[in-house]
Amino acid sequence: MDENKKVSLTKRDVNKVIARWYITTEMSLNFERMQSIAYTYALIPALKKLYPNKEDMIPVLQRHMELFNTNATAGGLILGTTLAMEEEIANNPESMPGQAVVAVKTGLMGPVAAFGDSFSAGTLTTLAILASCSLAQEGSIAGFFLLLLGTMITLFELIFTTKLTYQKGRSAIKDIMSSKLMNDVIEGANILGMGMMGALSASMVTLSIALSANFGESVLSVQDKIDAIMPGILSLSVLMIYYYLISKKHVSVAKLVIATLVFGILTAAIGLF
């Protein structure tokens, strides 16, 4: 193709797309197509550069209006790839059909969401939140600032992943997602994540049995007996029961919260907990 006609996005264009995506991802969130309006809106600065003629832009706008939903910040992996692909199509329409972009987007949104929700939102942000909580509970304003810092982790994640995948081009995401290294990184992150869920449960989940029995002068506390088997075994059991109900029985979380509330009040009524 004619090299003179090649348009490419500037750093500024990419930054504009990132900023739009970060700020507006969930504003127009809806049940029918989730984040699709935000995605289309975020791409506009790039599309304006790639298609000076508005008529040419219409099919691109329309294909990005299709259902899209992922973790907003790990979603940079998809955002950068999309930018790279759209740039390639704009320069050479024969290179691939427009549907290829949609295929890549829908193919990646699940795995990327699972990675982002569990690792960045689930583990990193939760750790920052918990550290801020303990500071705040002592009445320290440092908790407020630590939380601000923790929030910024995900913003850096978005900027980093978008720039990385845009610069490496459309093949990069395939290489990254299918590479052994990525698999190993995900496996490692999963091990860390699963371990941390146990560690966090140990410090956050509190449940102890209030029942006790009187034998003459000595009071036998049921909780002490249970702790002698294994400290905190109740909290761990609760975690495992929830996990079983969510993963195997597909019980919705709202139902679990309601059930927990009812269970708490009933058991408190009979003096069990």
Partner 1 sequence: MGGTQLLIMAIAMGLMYWIARGMIGGYFAFFFIASPIVVGVVAGLIYGDLTNGLILGGGIAAAFAGIIAPGGNLPTDSALAATTVIPIALSTGLSVEQAIAFAVPMGLVGSFVTNLRKMVNVIFVHRADECAAKGDLKGIRNCAIIFPPIVELPLLFLPVFLVVMFGQDAMLAFMNNVPDWVMHGMEVAGGVMPAIGFALIMNMIGKPRLIPYTIIGFIMVKALALNNLTAGLLLGCVAFLVVLAKQERNKEGA
Nearest-CA neighbor of 21 among 80, 62, 63?
Answer: 80
Task: Based on the shown chain and the rule CB under 8 A, indicate whether residue 156 belongs to the binding site for partner 1.
Answer: no
Q: Give the count of residues interacting with partner 1 (CB under 8 A).
A: 116
> Which of the residues 234 through 253 are near partner 1 (CB under 8 A)?
235-236, 238-239, 242-243, 245-247, 252-253
Beta strands 212-215 and 218-221 are antiparallel
Would you say 1 or 257 has its CB closer to partner 1?
257
Least spacing, CB of residue 218 vs partner 1, in Å: 26
Rounded Cα–Cα distance for residues 60 and 53 (Å): 12
Rounded Cα–Cα distance for residues 230 and 217 (Å): 26
> Which of the residues 106 through 125 are near partner 1 (CB under 8 A)?
113-114, 117-118, 121-123, 125
Would you say 192 or 211 has its CB closer to partner 1?
192
Task: Based on the shown chain and the rule CB under 8 A, indicate whether residue 182 belongs to the binding site for partner 1.
Answer: no
Least spacing, CB of residue 3 vs partner 1, in Å: 28
> Which of the residues 37 through 76 are near partner 1 (CB under 8 A)?
37-38, 40-41, 44, 48, 54-55, 57-58, 61-62, 65, 69, 72-73
3-state secondary structure of 213: strand
3-state secondary structure of 247: helix
Q: Check residue 232 and give left, alpha or beta (phi > 0: left; psi -120 to 50: alpha).
A: left
Q: Which residues contact 273 (CB under 8 A, 6 or more apart)?
A: 207, 208, 209, 210, 264, 267
Nearest-CA neighbor of 7 among 84, 86, 91?
Answer: 91
Amino acid 261 reads: L
Task: Based on the shown chain and the rule CB under 8 A, indicate whether residue 31 belongs to the binding site for partner 1.
Answer: yes
Least spacing, CB of residue 34 vs partner 1, in Å: 6
Task: Based on the shown chain and the rule CB under 8 A, indicate whether residue 254 belongs to the binding site for partner 1.
Answer: yes
Would you say 100 or 251 has its CB closer to partner 1?
251
Task: Based on the shown chain and the rule CB under 8 A, indicate whether residue 222 belongs to the binding site for partner 1.
Answer: no
